[in-house]
């Protein structure tokens, strides 16, 4: 399984959340889903971090999930000591939009946080320093209901360069809001074809209680559909020593964005 994770970049622990805990999580997730739409509008796709909503939802099932022995053991066997899979101050819940289909666009986490015009040699060097370090860039989707929203390009986490046909589409306005002259069904088909058009992309199928860990430096995206209820725990697998690595990368991002802003100001 470790070999699979290192080579493909994603791994699923099937049915690792027991039915009793799954039922408890669903009860609170259903409340959180309604709360997400109430607070952030019908098209919102997440509520995060969950610990900010302890006055509205019972966080105890999520604490039980954090302490679940089977998950702790699986993560430790996969990656070694010092890794944690659950963090209420980070953890969110991914939910379905209510009005129309929504596509988050193809992207690589980390890379997507720096505007294309700001991706200098210094940024590339800073990112290359942490690219293959397993202490960072591990993300989690744990499905409380069956979930087939995520698309992923296996093996793309192994390289920081892009192949022909691989292109970030998070900035494409058609992803968030379908064109006014097409129906929702046509928008759904357009988004599906956009997922399939990425070279090497596969659709990830999670059943209720499945826990997916993945290297989020790989190309991935999500296609959300209003008629498919979704309540998926979204978090990271972090390491106690990963903080300084993350901070160095964030500093490089800030420097790159500041340099871009300064160059635009000078151009004026």
**pLDDT one-digit tens code per residue, 62-89:** 999 999 999 999 999 999 999 999 999 9
Q: How confident is the model at residue 218 (pLDDT cuts 50, 70, 90)?
A: very high
Q: Closest Cα partner for 175 from 230, 250, 95, 100?
A: 100
The pLDDT assigned to 246 comes to 83
The pLDDT assigned to 72 comes to 97
Q: How confident is the model at residue 242 (pLDDT cuts 50, 70, 90)?
A: confident
**pLDDT one-digit tens code per residue, 119-147:** 888 888 888 888 999 999 999 999 999 99
> What is the average per-residue pLDDT within 181-193?
96
**What domains can you pick out in the chain, each with its CATH number?**
2-267 (2.60.120.620)
Pairing mode of beta strands 202-203, 46-47: unpaired
Single pTM value for the model? 0.93
> What is the average per-residue pLDDT within 145-157?
98
């Amino acid at each position: 399984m470790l070999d699979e994770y290192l080579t493909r970049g994603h791994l699923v622990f099937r049915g690792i959340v027991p039915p009793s805990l799954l039922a408890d999580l669903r009860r609170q997730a259903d409340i959180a889903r309604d709360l997400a739409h109430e607070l952030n509008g019908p098209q919102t796709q997440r509520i995060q971090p969950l610990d900010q909503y302890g006055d509205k939802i019972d966080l105890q099932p999520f604490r039980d999930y954090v302490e679940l022995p089977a998950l702790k053991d699986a993560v430790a066997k996969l990656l070694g000591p010092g890794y944690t899979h659950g963090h209420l101050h980070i953890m969110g819940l991914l939910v379905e939009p209510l009005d129309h289909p929504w596509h988050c666009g193809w992207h690589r986490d980390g890379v997507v946080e720096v505007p294309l015009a700001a991706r200098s040699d210094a940024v590339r060097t800073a990112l290359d320093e942490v690219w293959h370090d397993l202490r960072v860039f591990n993300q989690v989707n744990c499905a409380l209901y069956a979930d087939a929203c995520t698309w992923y390009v296996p093996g793309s986490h192994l390289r920081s360069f892009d192949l022909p046909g691989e292109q970030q589409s998070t900035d494409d306005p058609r992803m968030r809001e379908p064109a006014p002259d097409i129906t929702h069904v046509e928008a759904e088909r357009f988004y599906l074809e956009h997922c399939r058009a990425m070279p090497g992309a596969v659709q990830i199928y999670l059943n209720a209680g499945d826990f997916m860990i993945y290297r989020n430096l790989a190309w991935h995206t999500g296609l959300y559909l209003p008629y498919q209820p979704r309540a998926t725990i979204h978090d990271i697998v972090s390491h106690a020593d990963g903080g300084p690595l993350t901070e160095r990368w964030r500093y490089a991002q800030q420097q790159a964005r500041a340099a871009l802003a300064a160059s635009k100001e000078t151009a004026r």
